[in-house]
Amino acid sequence: MRFSKIILALLALAVVAGGAYLWRLPADVGYRFGSRYLGPVALSGLRGTAWEGHADGVSVFGRDLGEVDWHAQKMPLLGGRFVADVRLKGADVDVAGEVERAAGRIEARDLRFSVPAELLAPLFDAGGMKLLGTVSGVVTQAVLAQARLGDVHGNARWSHAGVATDAETRLPDVLAEFASQADGSVAGSVRDDGSGDLAIDGSFTLRIGAFDAQASLSARNGNADVAEMLRHVGEPQPDGSTRLQLHGQNLKVF
């Protein structure tokens, strides 16, 4: 009986010691074991622990975005779920929200972001066109499982919007709302904020490998300069507006 009690005590001590070690697991050690689950995300200059730490550098698809801090919640760890509050901060990038890793999937919740519009250019076949301004908003929910996005809901604002090729064209601020669809795509609506002379009313659909977008463009308050510009864009409509349709490849980075 006494021998069995000793064994149980040693087992309990081993569990406590193992739990203490895992709780203090250095961030760089945890990263070596878990990096294969991060896909295109690479970290450098790690400090702290795997549960509460800091990385001096974070890059996605080879682009440096800044530094990142994370703080894991304790209770979900007891059930085998990693839930952490994450903050990514760079010179022109700011992303913060809750990220969960469990059962072969990654889920983001209330993810607030502000990034240069040009950062999104690799997602589309932009034909050499440069995107100007800043895109900010919130992804209230998104799930990444088996390299596919699902359950996506959110909204965004493209501020100081514009495009540049040989010349630079400025646009009013553009507002978008988006959500996942039953066929696995992400669809949304697009409109201007009402502050400029160009009125925009459109929609878009994103799928793995392709995107479709359409918009009706018109001159607000009969602005003659905008009306003249629209004569050379898209397909003129009987009411004086222009219909613009775009089709192309997207998510080429994957």
Q: Is residue 239 predicted with pLDDT exceeding 60? A: yes
17-26, 105-114, 116-125, 136-145: the lowest-pLDDT one: 17-26
Residue 155: CB partners within 8 Å, gap ≥ 6?
137, 138, 175, 176, 177, 178
What does the pLDDT average to over 120-136?
A: 75
What is residue 245's predicted lDDT score, i.e. its pLDDT? 85
Q: What is the pLDDT of residues 182-192, one digit of tens each?
A: 888 899 999 99
5-14, 31-40, 169-178, 216-225: the lowest-pLDDT one: 5-14
How far apart, in whole angstroms, are the C-alpha atoms of residue 79 and residue 58? 28
* Secondary structure E strands in 30-93: 41-48, 52-60, 63-72, 82-89
How far apart, in Å, are the Cα atoms of 207 and each of 148, 176, 187, 250, 254? Answer: 10, 17, 9, 8, 12
List the domain boundaries for the chain.
2-248
Q: What is the pLDDT of residues 85-118, one digit of tens each?
A: 999 998 888 999 998 887 778 889 999 999 998 8
CA 204 and chain centroid, separation: 17
